[in-house]
Amino acid sequence: MGKPTGFIEYLRELPVDRAPLGRIGDWNEFHPHLEEKRLRQQGARCMDCGVPFCHTGTLISGMASGCPVNNVIPEWNDLVYRGLWREALDRLHMTNNFPEFTGRVCPAPCEGSCVLGINEPPVTIKNIEAEIIDRGWEEGWVLPEQPKARTGKRVAVIGSGPAGLAAAEQLNRAGHLVTVLEREDRPGGLLMYGIPNMKLDKREVVMRRLEVMEQSGIKFVCNASVGDNVEAQLLLRDFDATVLCTGATQPRDLPIEGRSLKGVHFAMEYLTSATKALLDGGPDKSPIHARGKDVIVIGGGDTGTDCVGTALRHGCKSITQIEIMARPPVERAADNPWPEWPKVYKLDYGQEEAAAKNGADPRVYLTTVKKFVGDAAGHLKELVTVQVKWDRNDKGQFVPVEVPGTEQVRPVQLALLAMGFLGPEQPLLKDLGVECDPRSNVRAEHGRFTTNLKGVFAAGDCRRGQSLVVWAINEGRGAARECDRWLMGKTDLP
């Protein structure tokens, strides 16, 4: 601990983002760098608190508390304070394969459980993490890693999202010949098409890491839909082991009147088409476009926020976000104590941009959609909402109950369903013969990651359900470790 009084001397400070009204005119990332002197001061705020909850990665009340990949945060905070950036990068890479991803898109449960955060603003852990890895790339410290020897074992990883990439990199380090199969036209999974460019740049951040992985010996095969144009059983025959990292891509639908109208889309349809268009010729090429339209996003979370930010960049006429839950409190409630994840009200980047443009947070709380209404040509023109309150049913469960007399008709030409995901898509799992749990996820115990099929492992959202990028990395690393142990009888992977 280089600065014992750092948390007393220095206030929490983050770089000032680009102004919301300016940044919605492009698709570039909007978080600038903080100068080194001030970054080192932020590292000095880390208290070396003796029992650092920031890297515990436990689940409390169903939510992550601390870093799920167990980043040794106090160590690299101290190294940053001392100006030892290369050493800080080594510590960071020791637990996290892709800090440039988590440093941009992770909600930072580490900060929610920071001990300093009990009575002061927490350490800027996420920003320091991003600065360490960005400096590593700038200095040329991030290089391809060829294993010292090859085992001759062949492993197929199905899915190239964060879990698949983490599993592939770890298995390659162990010396196995790794092939990653991705059904889309580019690798990266949700990192490529599920998260908008302004939040995670594809060419400068995602593709850069993929290129280094390829140079390390990992093979990526795109347009490879296992169970469709790649036969699942042949895959099991041709590889010594398989790791399933297909994600939880089955979206939650809203089966109400008018659902089939033109203009009602799942959020991921919209986000994927927007990013593909941006990469393939420009945002105007997107087949689902918000220009000049009244847009309503149904659902919250990161996906809902990303839809808001994307619609604003498309030039929508208006933007509204409907949430069935109540607005969170400004400060922690009594039943949400530290070190739980703080369920408090905040403006994420999309809502901040909408508020700057339209003068108010676009979210409407305690509201649900009753039906979609179309015109004579079958195009969406409006929807009907109603306010709800949460009461207990006869089983003691909290359920939403409509409030009479609160129905409202809202104009809309593009409705985006961002209500979460139900689990992995089933056809591939059925083709393979993989057992699922009652929630439709692949049945594989955390820590072992083994399925009912010999030599087949599962990790990430397809095993645990919809979750965070950082949890996917945790699972990919764990599945790689157990796969290596199964192949070789022992493992040195962490």
Query: Which residues have CB under 8 Å from 493's CB, separation 6+?
Result: 170, 173, 174, 477, 480, 481, 484
**Residue 47 confidence (pLDDT):** 87
- Residue 8: Cβ-neighbour burial (10 angstroms; 0-12, 13-18, 19+): exposed
Q: How far apart are CA 374 and CA 456, in angstroms?
A: 47
Query: What CATH fold (topology level) applies to the domain 253-419?
Result: FAD/NAD(P)-binding domain (3.50.50)
The SS3 call for residue 2 is coil
User: What three-state secondary structure class fits 448?
Assistant: coil
Buried b (16+ CB within 10 A) or exposed e, 221-247: eeebebbeebebeebbeebbbbbbbbb
Classify the C-alpha dihedral 159-161-162-168 as positive or negative.
positive
Report the CATH fold assignment for 154-249+422-488.
Answer: FAD/NAD(P)-binding domain (3.50.50)
Q: Which residue from 103, 99, 135, 104 is spatially nearest to 28, judged by alpha carbons?
A: 104
CA–CA dist 203, 390 (Å, integer): 45
Q: Indicate the residue type of 409.
A: V
> What is the 3 state secondary structure string of 392-432?
ECCCCCEEEEECCCCCEEEECCEEEECCCEEECCHHHHHHH
Question: Among 249, 200, 169, 215, which residue's Cα sits nearest to residue 30?
Answer: 200
* Predicted pLDDT of residue 42: 97
Q: What is the pLDDT along the chain (494 residues), one digit of tens a residue?
A: 678 899 999 999 999 999 999 999 999 999 999 999 999 999 999 987 888 999 999 989 888 899 999 999 999 999 999 999 999 999 999 999 999 999 999 999 999 999 999 999 999 999 999 999 999 999 999 999 999 999 999 999 999 999 999 999 999 999 999 999 999 999 999 999 999 999 999 999 999 999 999 999 999 999 999 988 889 888 899 999 999 999 999 999 999 999 999 999 999 999 999 999 999 989 999 999 999 999 999 999 999 999 999 999 999 999 999 999 999 999 999 999 999 999 999 999 999 999 999 999 999 999 999 999 999 999 999 999 999 999 999 888 999 999 999 999 999 999 999 999 999 999 999 999 999 999 999 999 999 999 999 999 999 999 999 999 999 999 999 999 999 999 999 999 99
Domains of the chain by residue range? 6-139, 154-249+422-488, 253-419
At residue 1, the pLDDT reads 65
Predicted local confidence at residue 127, as pLDDT: 97
The confidence score (pLDDT) of residue 64 equals: 87
Which residues, including other chains, have CB under 8 Å from residue 320's CB and lie 6 or more apart?
A: 294, 295, 296, 297, 362, 364, 410, 412
CATH superfamily of 6-139: Alpha-helical ferredoxin (1.10.1060.10)
Check: CB of residue 310 under 8 Å from CB of residue 270. Answer: yes
Q: Note whether 6-139 and 253-419 share their fold.
A: no
Q: What is the CA radius of gyration of the chain?
A: 23
Q: Is 303 exposed, middle or buried (0-12, 13-18, 19+ CB in 10 A)?
A: buried
- pTM for the complete prediction? 0.96
* Measured distance CA(410)–CA(424) in Å, rounded: 33
